[in-house]
Amino acid sequence: MSLAGRSLVSINDVSNGEVEGILSLADKMQDSKGSKLDLCQGKILASLFFEPSTRTRLSFEAAMQRLGGSVIGAVDTKTTSLSKGESIADMARVVGKYADIIVIRHPWEGAARVAAEYAGVPVINAGDGSHEHPTQTLCDIYTIKKARGKIKGLTIALCGDLKHGRTTHSLAYMLARFGATIVFYSGPSLGPPEYVLRKLTTEYNGVLRRPTGRNLSSLALALGGSGKASATLDAIYVTPRTSHDLALIPDLRAEVDLKGVDALYMTRLQQERFSDAKGDTRKAYPVVDKDVLKRKELKRALVLHPLPRLDEIAREIDADPRSMYFEQAAHGVAVRMALIALLLGVQQAEAPAERTLPEVVTQPEIYRSDLGSRCENPACVSVHEARYIAPEFVVCGNKPLTLRCVYCDYEKQPNYVGNLKSRIYYACQDIRARQIKVSNSVFFDSEEKAQERGFRPSAKAQQR
């Protein structure tokens, strides 16, 4: 199996088999620890970190040095020409001529995708805003597999700021793809984005149950440490099973409370990502401490955290054998060594003997047009760099018509759709709108916008 020349922007850019290949090479890299290899001699890694980082940047740089390569880097937009208004595309084109591989962390969602489109060398996303962090997921999965031997069939709780925590988004996709049950427990108003939940069901074909009414999950209520906080149970995702199977488990919430979880993945409040991270949000934020760990639901649970932690994991549990977060961070070097070596083509990975679960099930259609709707996520790279990035969306739902931005995954529901051939537009609910092929469609947010672009209303739209 070769990954040579590829980029890793989303965890969904690699198949399950490829992930297993990366992790088994990471095992070998782990064994070589302490010795410097010469696999990447003469190769250069560009380390571009436009957001704070300790573990991710240093483990990437340590990984390249252990592989015998060297590192060039920038750690602040202020010290690069981005501060002079240079585009990410131009920067990537240039850095791609200086280095053999680029690692980029940037606050704009989709920035790594743009860099990968222009660099001409492999690009690794080391975190793009609140969106994704695929290499952290590789470390997370590696840690769980080492401790439990498998992912399939495990029940894993993601907890904390699931809205802004990019590590939880990439991890949720990966867990779903490997066949785990995922329980989402969030802090106050910090539930997972709709696009993450929708992807789990539309692309991995799983079943998502959202509890209604009061939060009756015992673990959710307990996740508050000795303080007054608790978590909210947002959803439970179960990997595709037969309907017969599901019928046997009518109440997933009770099942989770009864059987407990195999791992609790805690995350910090991402206060830098939103302005209203008030004291109240902090006070009500879930915490894992000694008392919480005594609960029967967590008896066998590994405690994971991408770090850095604030107060959501009490220091008193650091010595508990279930606490894995420092080990998880330590795995970063071996996992990243494996990934760099594979993308640079200096190593091949062994393909796994048996294929795991179904990969992405549906391949949605892509819609790309300069004329119509743009992404509404203020953190999206296509908004910041609109001068050269045309909006690109996946049509991910029909009732109501829903578009998902290719760069940041943010969803929107346009109101009107124009036919490029006839130059007539319709309300999206109009049956005739559904008959237009995506390749002939232009989506608009308002009639004014459609008319500005030279489209005429359909007879029905005129009557309205």
Please give the residue ranges that form the binding site for ligand NCD (CB under 6 A): 55-56, 127, 133, 136, 166-167, 267-268, 306-307
Burial of 151 from C-beta contacts in 10 A (0-12 / 13-18 / 19+): buried
SS3 of the chain: helix, strand, coil, percent, to 5: 35, 20, 45
Q: Which is closer to ligand NCD, CB of 112 or CB of 450?
A: 112
Q: Which is closer to ligand NCD, CB of 113 or CB of 133?
A: 133
In the complex, minimum distance from the CB of residue 406 to ligand NCD, in angstroms, rounded to a whole number: 21
Neighbours of 399 (CB within 10 A): 8
Cα 233 to Cα 237: distance, rounded to the nearest angstrom: 12
Cα 53 to Cα 51: distance, rounded to the nearest angstrom: 6
Q: Where are the beta strands (DSSP E) in 112-231?
A: 123-128, 155-160, 181-186, 207-209
Q: Which is closer to ligand NCD, CB of 192 or CB of 306?
A: 306
In the complex, minimum distance from the CB of residue 15 to ligand NCD, in angstroms, rounded to a whole number: 23
In the complex, minimum distance from the CB of residue 30 to ligand NCD, in angstroms, rounded to a whole number: 18
Cα 405 to Cα 386: distance, rounded to the nearest angstrom: 13
Which residues, other chains included, contact 10 with Cβ-Cβ below 8 Å and sequence gap of 6+?
113, 125, 132, 134, 170, 173
Residue 269: which of 160, 150, 132 has the closest Cα? 160
Q: Which is closer to ligand NCD, CB of 75 or CB of 386?
A: 75
Q: Which is closer to ligand NCD, CB of 328 or CB of 402?
A: 328
In the complex, minimum distance from the CB of residue 306 to ligand NCD, in angstroms, rounded to a whole number: 4
- The C-alpha R_g of the chain, in whole angstroms, comes to 23
Residue 54 C-alpha from the chain's centroid: 20
In the complex, minimum distance from the CB of residue 138 to ligand NCD, in angstroms, rounded to a whole number: 12
Q: Which is closer to ligand NCD, CB of 53 or CB of 402?
A: 53
In the complex, minimum distance from the CB of residue 65 to ligand NCD, in angstroms, rounded to a whole number: 19
In the complex, minimum distance from the CB of residue 266 to ligand NCD, in angstroms, rounded to a whole number: 10
Which residues, other chains included, contact 348 with Cβ-Cβ below 8 Å and sequence gap of 6+?
1, 2, 342
Q: Which is closer to ligand NCD, CB of 7 or CB of 267?
A: 267
Q: Which is closer to ligand NCD, CB of 56 or CB of 419?
A: 56
In the complex, minimum distance from the CB of residue 40 to ligand NCD, in angstroms, rounded to a whole number: 22
B/e letters for 323-354, b = 16+ CB within 10 Å, e = fewer, are bbbeebbebbbbbbbbbbbbbbebbebeebee
